Structure 1
Amino acid sequence: MGKDLKGLSLSDESRDVPTHGESSDQGLTSAEADKRLETYGPNDMLAVKHSSPVVQFLRLFLNPLTAILLVASIVSVILGDAVDASIIIVIVLLSNILNFVQTSQSQKAVEKLRAGVAPMANVRRDGEWIDLPRRQIVPGDIIRLAAGDLVPADARLLQATDLHVQQAALTGESLPVDKSADVGGEDTEDFADAPDRVFLGTSVVSGLGIALVTATGRTTAFGDIAVRLASRAPETEFERGIKSFGMLIMQTVFFLVIFIVMVGTIGHHKPFETVLFAISLAVGLTPEFLPMITTVTLGQGALRMAKKKVIVKHLESIQNFGSIDTLCSDKTGTLTSGETKLESFLDLTAQESERVLLFGYLNSTYQMGMKSPLDEAILRHGAVDMSGYTKVGEIPFDFERRCISVVVRHGDENLLIIKGAPESVLARCTAYERNGVCKPLDDVNDEERATYVNKYRDLSAQGYRVLAVAYRVISPQEKYEKVDEQSLVLLGFLNFADPPKSDVARVLQALKNDGVQVKILTGDNELVTRHVCEQVGLKSDRIVLGSEVEHMTDPALAQVVEEVNVFARVSPAQKNRVILALKSRKHVVGYMGDGINDAPSLHAADVGISVSTGVDIAKDAADIILLEQSLQVLHDGILEGRKAFGNVIKYLLMGTSSNFGNMFSMAGAYIFLPFLPMLPSQILLNTFLYDLSQVTIPTDNVDASYIRKPQHWDIRLIRNFMIFIGPVSSIFDFLTFFIMLHVFSADAVLFHTGWFVESLATQTLVLFIIRTAGNPFRSRPSLPLAITTVLIVVVGFVLPYTPLAGTLGFTPLPPLYFLFLAGMIVGYLFLVELVKRYLMRRYA
C-alpha cells in the first residue's frame, strides 16, 4: 500500500465510530494496538496456531515404521535383549534429531525471507499513517485503501471516493461493486450487499477509501471462505512426484516384508526375530531422510535464490520454477526499462500543445485510482498551472474501456476530460479541435478520422506509447457514468518513450538456450509491440490481437500459441485463455505480472511471478516474487530452481538404487544362511550412517548440462535406477558372502562385520558416480559432500576396532580383507558407471 492519499481525511460525522473499543480519526495508539493484538491474535487465518518445537519433534515418531521399531525395542528389553534395544532407540533418536534440526533451520530461514515480502497495510497509528504487516492489523484500526490493494480485514467505510471493490471471490459477482461511506446505516441481512462494508479476501479495483476495521483473522465475516481461497490450489508437480515416489517405495517395501515373513516361516526362524528383521529391512529401503533432504535442499535453494533477488513464497514452487519452459510476460518493465518518459504532447496539427498537456495533467492528477507509469510520467514532466480547475467527478479506468475520465469545473462549465487508448477514445469522438476550432467528425469526415488514426499508428510504429486526449462540456449531475463518455471532442495525443533494456536481447537468448521460450502478452497496440520486439530480437513475424483471440475456439487457440510469440491488445481474460491454452499443450507456464489485471493470470499459470513493487493483489497471487523487475534476475532464479531440484533427484536415485540393492541382498541371504545376514541394529546403523553422508547433498554442484533444460519428475528413471543398479550392488554383496564364508571361514560375527563394512563403503562411495550424469572425474562434488562421504566410509572401517565393536556386534577384520575390499569397490563403481550411462542415454 502506501499510496499518496493527500486530501482524504475523516469527516467530522465519521469520527469515534465504536467497534471493539474506542477509536478516532487519529487511529489507535501503539500501546492500545498491542493490547488488542494480544486479545484478538494476529490477522492471519492460515497460521494462527504454530505447533511448539517439542510437538513438531514428537510428530517425527508418528512414522509407522519408526513407531514399530520403538515398540519392537521395548519388546526386546522385556525379552532380555537390552543392548540391541538400546542401539535401535539411539539410532532412531539420532535420525529424528538430525531431521528436526536441519528441517527447522531451513524452515526458519525461508520464513524470514517470506516475511520480507509479507502483505502490508496502510494504517493510522498514533496519529500517523504508516505501513504495517497485515498480520498486525487489529479491530479498531483505521486503514486506507487504494486501487491494487487487498482489503486487509473486514471494515466499515468512513469515507470513499469512487471506490469499486472486486468481491467475486466471495460472492461470485463478476463485476466490481460500488462502495460508499454510509455511517449509521442499517445492516442488511446479507451484509455482503452493504455499500459501506469491505471484506477480507476482496480487492480494490479503483478509487480510494478510509475504513474502520471491525474484524480480523478467523473472526472475519467470510473467514472460512477466505481460508480456502488463500490455501494452495491443486497439488503441484513436485507434490505429485513425491506422491508417485512414495507409492513406488510402499509397493516395494510391502512385497519385501511379505517375502521375508514367508521365508522366515518356511525356514522356521524365530517369529519375533523374523518380524524385527523384516521391519529393519523396510526401514533400510525407505529413504527416511527424504522430507529432511527435500526441505533442506529446497530451503537452501531458496536462500541462494534470495541472494539473486528472488523470493520464494512456497518451497514447492522451486521445482515448478525450474521446470518452466514457457514464460509469459507483459512488455513494459520486462523488455523495456519501465522508466516511461513523456516525450511530446501534440495537437492535431502535430505541434506541441500546452492545452493537450494541461488536459492530460488534469486527468492524471485528479483520477483517484492507482497511478499508472504513464500517469507518473505526465506528473513528472513538470508543474502545470491548474488554477481555476476543480474536480467534481470521475469515471474510473477499467480494462475493457481502456480509458479513464475526470470531470472538472472551470468557470461556469463542467468539462469531462478523457484519456486512454487512441482507438477507444476515437470511437467515442464526434468532433475534433484544430487550431482552436471545433469541427464535426462524422461520416462526411471519414477521411479526417483516418488521418488521425494514421497519425497515432505512425507514432506507435516508431515505438511510442500513445494516449489520446479528448473532452466535452457536460451538464452538472449527481454522478457520472460510462454512458457520459460520448460526443467527445478529440484534442490531441500524449506520446511516451520506454526504451528497451540494454541487456534484454542477451538474456532472451540465454533463456532460449536454457529451454525457456518467452511470449509477450501485452495490452499495447501491435505497432509499438512489434517495434520493441524487433529491437530486442524477439521473433514477431506474426502478432495476434485480442480481437482475434476473442473469436478463436480453445482448440484453435491451443494451436496458435505454439506458433506465435507475441499477443497484443489482449485483455486480462484473453491473457488467461492464452496461458490455459499453453498448459493444455503440456507446457509448464510461468507468468510475470505486477498489476491488478495480472492476478487471474498469476493464478492460472503453473508459476506466478510478481515483483516487490507490484500491487498487493499481484503479490498475493504469485508464488515467486522478484526484488527487481528483470529478466536476468528471473533467469538466475530459474537456474537455481533447477539446481535445487537436481539435488533432490540425486538423493532419490542414490538412495533407492543403493538401498534396494542392499535389501535385496539381505533378503536373498536370509534364504540360505543359518543366521541373520546382518543384525537389525546393524541394518539401522548402516542406514543411518549412509543417510548421514548425504546430509550435505544440498550443497552439491549440479552438472551444467542438467540446468540447460527444464527438468520434470521422471518416476520411470528412478524405478529403473532401482531395478538395474540395485542388483549390480547385489552381485558384489553375494561375492562378499562367498569370500567371507569360503575364504575367511567367517562365523556370524565376522560375517556381519565384513558385510557391514563392504555394504557401507560401496553404497556410500557410489554417490560420486550417480551424482552426475557425465564423467565423475570431470564433475566435482562440493567440498562438504566429499568430506562427509569419505568420513562416513572411514567411520565404517574404524568401528570394528573401537570399544563399541562388541556392543554393536562387530569384530576386527583380517588385513587381507581390505585388499579384497579395495578390488570390490573399484569393480563395483566401474560397473555402476557403465549401467548409469546406459540408463541416462535411454531414459534421460
Structure 2
Amino acid sequence: MNDAREDPRAAAVAAPIAAAWSALASTPQGLDSAEAERRLARHGPNEAAPRRRGAAALALLAFLGNPLVLILLLAAAVSALLREFAEAAIIAVIVALSVLLNFFLSYRSQRAAERLREEIAPTACVRRDGAWRELPRHRLVPGDVIRLGAGDRVPADARLFDARGLYVQQAALTGESAPAEKAPADAPPPTTALAEARHVVLLGTSVVVGTAQAVVFATGRATAFGDVAELLSARPPETEFERGLVRFAGLIMRTVVFLVLATLLIALARGREPFESLMFAVALAVGLTPEFLPMIVTVTLARGAVRMARRRVIVKHLAAIEDFGSMQLLLCDKTATLTTGEMRVEEGLDIDGHAARRPLEFAYLNSLYESGIRSPFDAAILAHGDVAGAEGYGKVDEIPFDFERRRLSVVAARAGARILVTKGAPAHVLACCTACERGDRREPLDEALRARCLRLAEDCGRRGLRVLAVAWRDVPAQPAYRVEDETGLVFAGFVTFADPLVPGIAATLAALRRDGVQVKILSGDDAPLVQRVCEQVGLGTQPAVTGVEVDRLGDAALGRAAERATAFARVSPAQKHRILLALKARRHVIGFLGDGVNDAPSLHAADVGISVANAVDVAKDSADIVLRERDLGVLHDGVLEGRRAFANVMKYLLMATSSNFGNMASMAAGMLFLPFLPMTPVQILLNNFLYDIAQATLPTDTVDASAIRRPQRWNVAQIRNFMLAIGPISSLYDFLTFYVLLAVFGASAPLFQSGWFVESLTTQTLVVFVIRTLGKARRSRPGTPLILASAAVVCLAWLLPLTPLAPALGFVRPPAGYYAFVAAAAATYLALVAAVHRRVLAWRVPARRRRWRP
C-alpha cells in the first residue's frame, strides 16, 4: 500500500469521501500490519504530548537543584580553594550520597508506579489486516480505520464514514457543554473550524451515545488538540495531600529562616570567623530541613500503590492514595456494587400481571439489534433465548438510549412491514403509550390502566425484582427515525429480572462503616427496589430520597438531606453530581464509584474518583483509582492501605521536625555560651545524613491497627505543636549532655563535639520507636528494616570516634564512662517522650474539616 500524500489532511476533511480514502491511501478494510508499522515509524506514536526523554537525568538535576544542596556544594568548592581538602571532600561525599540515595529510591518507586499505570493504558478498536483489534492508542497512524461506541474516547482526529445516532462531547475543545451531533458527509460543506465539522471527530472528545466507524487522518501533535497537548500531560489538580505538604513546607521554611538568621547573627556578634559561621548556619538549615521528605513520600506512596495493586487496585496518581485513605463517604450505584449486576430473566408479565411471552419476544428483538453498550439486561434477555418473535426481521434503524428518556428503540423490518420496538424504564415507556395488549385484543391505555401498570412495577420492585417495560407500534418507511417517532405506542408488558446480592456484601459494608467510611447509594432504579436492597444489606430501612425530591431542594437543603439519607432512587447522573457537590460543600471527603459515560463529571469532582477496569474510557480517564474488579471488599483493602501509607509519612514528619528542631535549637543556644562550635559543619551534615538513612526505612514500617481505624487528614498545626512539645525535651537532654561533658569530663572542643555527636544521633535515631506508635512501644512491633537500620546507625555513631576516620571528621575517643551516660540518657529520654507524646499527638480529622459520624 502506498503512503498517503504529502499533506492529506485537507483532502481528508474537505474532499468527498472517495478522495479522502485516496488521500490517506486507505480503504474501509483498514491497513495491514506492515504498512501500519511503516507509518508509525514515519509519523511517530499517537501521543498529543511527546514522552519526555531523559526523565532520570531531569529527576537527578531536580535533586541537585535544591538550594541547600547548591550552597553546600559551593561551600565545598570554597573549602577546596582554601586548601581545606579533607573538609571539602567530606562535604561533597555526604551531599552526593544523600542526593544519590534520594534519587535512586524515588526514581525506582516512580517507575514502579508508572508500570502499574501502564496496565490500564487506553486502547482503541482498530481494523488491521481486515479484522477488528484492540490496540494501544499510541500505535494508531493516519489511514487506520477505527470503531467508536458510547463511552469511548476518540483516539485521534478522524473522518466519519458510518455513524448511527452519534453524539460527541467536545467541551474540551469548544467549551460547549451540550453534546454535538455527528454524521458522515460524502461532500462536506466548507467550515471555518474543524470542531464544527459534523463529519469529523477529534482527539480529546468522547462519545456520549451512538456508534460509528471513521478513518484517522491526523495523530499525535498533528491533531487539532496538538496545540494544547501539554494539557493532556499536565499533572492532575493538586490533592489535599499535596496541599498539606505545601503548608508543612511553609512551617519548616519559617523555622529554618528564624534559627539560621539567629545563629548567624549570634556567631558574627561573638566575633566568629564569617565563613565558618556561614557554613555552620547552612549546616543548621540542612539539619533542620527534612530533605529526605520527597523521597520518603514517593517511596511510601509508591510502596502503598504496589501493595494496593496486589489487592487489585490501580493508583493513577500517587498523591491520591492519601485522599483514598481519608475518604469519609463513598457514593456508588446499587447495581454491580451491592448486587452482582448479572441479571437473569424471571418472566414476562402482561398488563394484568400474568405470565406472557409477547414482552419477552419484543425485548429479544430490541436487544438483538441494539448497537450501543449492552447492559446486563440485554445480556440476560439474549441468554434467555426467546427468539421466535425475532425470526425474519432485519434491522432498519435505532434511536439510542439516553438518560433523559431512559429508553431505547429499534426499528426492524420483515416482509416489507416495519415495526418500532421500545424498551426501558416503566414510567418513561408508559408515557409514550396510548394503547395496551390484553390477551388477543388491543385496548386504549387510560390513566387508570397506566397507574395500574406502575403499581405492578412497584410491586415487583418491592419483591427485589428489576423491571423493564416493552412497547411497540407499526411505523411507515422513512429514511431515518427520531425520538419524535416514539409516540402512540402499544404497551406489550413487562420483563422482570432478578439481580442477586454480592456474597458477603453486608459484612463488607459493616467493615467499611466500622472503619469510618459510610456508603450511600445513588441509583436510577425505583425507590421500592432500592429500599429493599438496602434493607437486605444492612444499610437501614429509611425511605430512599427520589430524584423528584432532589429537584425540589436547594443546594443547602440538599446537603443536609444527603447527610441524613442512605439511599437515593430515580436519580439522573446530573442529580448525582448535585448530591456529590452538596456533600462536599459540607466539608466531607467524598469518594465516587462510577463506570459510565455520565459518571465522568462526578468522578472528576469527587475527592477520590474510583472506577473499574472494565469501565468506559472516559470514566477511567476521569478516575484517580481504578479497581480491577468491582468489589467493595477490594476497595476497603485499598482504603486501609492508603491510611497505612499516610501514617508512615506522618511518622517521618513528626520524627524529623521534633528531633531536628530540638537538636538545631540546642546548637543555636550553644553558640551563646560555648567558645567553640557545638559541632563542626561537617559533623552536622554527617549526623543528618546518618539519621536520614535510618528513617529511609520508614516506608516499610508496620502500622498500628488504631492508626487506620478512621480517616486521617493533614494537620500542620498538630505537627507544629508536636515539634514545640517534643523538641524542647530533646534540647533538655542536649543541655544535660553539655553539662556532663564540660563539668564531669572537662571536655575540650573535639571531645565535646564527639560526645554530643554520639548522644545526639543515638537519641534522635532511637526515639522513632516511641513516636511511631500511639500505643505503648513494647506492644507495637516495628518493621524489621527499621530495626536493623536504626541499630546500624546507633552502632556507627558509637564506633566512628574510635575508627581511623575520626581525625578527618574532627572526632576524638570519648571516655568509657561517657558511653554509660549516653545509654542512661537515651533510656530516660525515651521514657519521657513516651509519657508526653501520646498526650500531644492525636491522629484525628482536623478541626478545619468538619467531623461527621453517620
Scaled to the shorter chain, the TM-score interval is over 0.9
CA deviations on 1:302-329 (whole Å, 9 max, x unpaired) are 0000000100000010000000000000
Identify which of 115, 135, 151 aligns with 1:112.
115
Tell me which amino acid in the other structure corresponds to 1:820. F
CA deviations on 1:416-471 (whole Å, 9 max, x unpaired) are 111000000111111111112111113xxx32222212111111111111000011
Tell me which amino acid in the other structure corresponds to 1:298. L
CA deviations on 1:769-810 (whole Å, 9 max, x unpaired) are 000111111111011111111111111111111111111111
Q: Does 1:422 align with 2:458?
A: no
The Cα shift of 1:187 comes to 4.2
Contact 2:48/2:232 (8 A) holds in 1: no
The alpha-carbon distance between structure 1 residues 160 and 841, as it changes in their structure 2 partners (threshold 3 A), is closer
Contact 1:19/1:140 (8 A) holds in 2: no
The Cα shift of 1:230 comes to 6.5
CA deviations on 1:345-364 (whole Å, 9 max, x unpaired) are 22224333332112111111
The alpha-carbon distance between structure 1 residues 51 and 534, as it changes in their structure 2 partners (threshold 3 A), is same
Q: Does 1:586 align with 2:590?
A: no
Q: Does 1:408 align with 2:412?
A: yes
Match of 1:771 in 2: 772
Match of 1:252 in 2: 255
How far apart in 2 are the matches of 1:206 and 1:668? 71
Contact 1:761/1:825 (8 A) holds in 2: yes
Match of 1:435 in 2: 439
Match of 1:303 in 2: 306
Match of 2:44 in 1: 41
Tell me which amino acid in the other structure corresponds to 2:509. L
Identify which of 320, 324, 328 aligns with 1:321.
324
Identify which of 233, 238, 242 aligns with 2:241.
238
Match of 1:267 in 2: 270
CA deviations on 1:693-726 (whole Å, 9 max, x unpaired) are 0111111111101100000001111111111111
Aligned with 1:222: secondary structure? helix
Contact 1:154/1:214 (8 A) holds in 2: yes
CA deviations on 1:45-74 (whole Å, 9 max, x unpaired) are 355223342332122110001001101110
Contact 1:544/1:568 (8 A) holds in 2: yes
Contact 1:15/1:24 (8 A) holds in 2: no
The Cα shift of 1:565 comes to 0.9
Q: Does 1:485 align with 2:486?
A: yes
Match of 2:134 in 1: 131
Tell me which amino acid in the other structure corresponds to 1:250. M
Aligned with 1:515: secondary structure? coil
Structure 1 stretch displaced more, 364-373 or 622-631: 364-373
Tell me which amino acid in the other structure corresponds to 1:726. G
The Cα shift of 1:383 comes to 5.8
The Cα shift of 1:551 comes to 1.6
The Cα shift of 1:227 comes to 4.4
Tell me which amino acid in the other structure corresponds to 2:61. L
Identify which of 390, 399, 402 aligns with 2:403.
399
The alpha-carbon distance between structure 1 residues 395 and 102, as it changes in their structure 2 partners (threshold 3 A), is same
Aligned with 2:372: secondary structure? coil
The CA RMSD measured in Å over matched residues stands at 1.7
Aligned with 1:736: secondary structure? helix
The Cα shift of 1:216 comes to 2.1
How far apart in 2 are the matches of 1:606 and 1:139? 38
The Cα shift of 1:212 comes to 1.4
The Cα shift of 1:134 comes to 1.6
Structure 1 stretch displaced more, 471-480 or 271-280: 471-480
Tell me which amino acid in the other structure corresponds to 1:79. L
Match of 1:807 in 2: 808
Identify which of 346, 370, 374 aligns with 2:377.
374
Match of 1:550 in 2: 551
Contact 2:152/2:618 (8 A) holds in 1: yes
Identify which of 171, 177, 181 aligns with 2:180.
177
The alpha-carbon distance between structure 1 residues 488 and 261, as it changes in their structure 2 partners (threshold 3 A), is same
Match of 2:498 in 1: 497
Tell me which amino acid in the other structure corresponds to 1:499. P
Aligned with 1:391: secondary structure? strand
Q: Does 1:292 align with 2:295?
A: yes
Q: Does 1:63 align with 2:66?
A: yes
Tell me which amino acid in the other structure corresponds to 1:215. A
The alpha-carbon distance between structure 1 residues 573 and 588, as it changes in their structure 2 partners (threshold 3 A), is same
CA deviations on 1:625-676 (whole Å, 9 max, x unpaired) are 0011101000000000000011001000001101111100110111211111
How far apart in 2 are the matches of 1:458 and 1:693? 65
Match of 1:205 in 2: 208
How far apart in 2 are the matches of 1:543 and 1:493? 24
Q: TM-score, normalised by structure 1?
A: 0.96
Match of 1:4 in 2: none
How far apart in 1 are the matches of 2:539 and 2:235? 34
In structure 1, stretches of 5+ residues that fail to align are 1-12
Q: Does 1:164 align with 2:164?
A: no
Aligned with 1:490: secondary structure? strand
Aligned pair count reads 829
Match of 1:598 in 2: 599
The Cα shift of 1:34 comes to 3.1
Identify which of 387, 393, 398 aligns with 1:389.
393
How far apart in 2 are the matches of 1:686 and 1:792? 10
Q: TM-score, normalised by structure 2?
A: 0.95
Contact 2:531/2:543 (8 A) holds in 1: no
Q: Does 1:84 align with 2:87?
A: yes
Tell me which amino acid in the other structure corresponds to 2:505. V
Contact 1:19/1:139 (8 A) holds in 2: no
How far apart in 1 are the matches of 2:376 and 2:105? 45
Structure 1 stretch displaced more, 318-327 or 807-816: 807-816
CA deviations on 1:720-768 (whole Å, 9 max, x unpaired) are 1111111110111111111111211111111111011111000000000
The alpha-carbon distance between structure 1 residues 483 and 228, as it changes in their structure 2 partners (threshold 3 A), is same
How far apart in 2 are the matches of 1:805 and 1:383? 89
In structure 2, stretches of 5+ residues that fail to align are 1-15, 846-854
Match of 2:748 in 1: 747
How far apart in 2 are the matches of 1:260 and 1:571? 63
Tell me which amino acid in the other structure corresponds to 2:409. S
How far apart in 1 are the matches of 2:499 and 2:123? 29
Aligned with 1:327: secondary structure? strand
Taking every aligned residue pair, what percent have the same amino acid on both sides?
A: 54
- 1:19-38 matches, within 5 Å, as 22-38=25-41
How far apart in 1 are the matches of 2:113 and 2:773? 28
Contact 2:117/2:316 (8 A) holds in 1: yes
- 1:144-159 matches, within 5 Å, as 144-159=147-162
Tell me which amino acid in the other structure corresponds to 1:318. I
How far apart in 2 are the matches of 1:169 and 1:55? 30
**Structure 1 outlier segments of 4+, above 6 Å:** none
How far apart in 2 are the matches of 1:145 and 1:119? 13
CA deviations on 1:255-310 (whole Å, 9 max, x unpaired) are 11110121022101111111111001001100000000000000000000000010
How far apart in 1 are the matches of 2:843 and 2:316? 36
Aligned with 1:262: secondary structure? helix
Match of 2:851 in 1: none
Tell me which amino acid in the other structure corresponds to 2:214. A
Match of 2:852 in 1: none
How far apart in 2 are the matches of 1:36 and 1:342? 49
The alpha-carbon distance between structure 1 residues 551 and 96, as it changes in their structure 2 partners (threshold 3 A), is same
The Cα shift of 1:24 comes to 2.8
The alpha-carbon distance between structure 1 residues 502 and 55, as it changes in their structure 2 partners (threshold 3 A), is closer
Match of 1:819 in 2: 820
Tell me which amino acid in the other structure corresponds to 2:471. A
The alpha-carbon distance between structure 1 residues 521 and 478, as it changes in their structure 2 partners (threshold 3 A), is same
Aligned with 1:250: secondary structure? helix
Contact 2:364/2:386 (8 A) holds in 1: no
Contact 1:42/1:48 (8 A) holds in 2: no
Aligned with 1:397: secondary structure? coil
How far apart in 2 are the matches of 1:40 and 1:657? 56
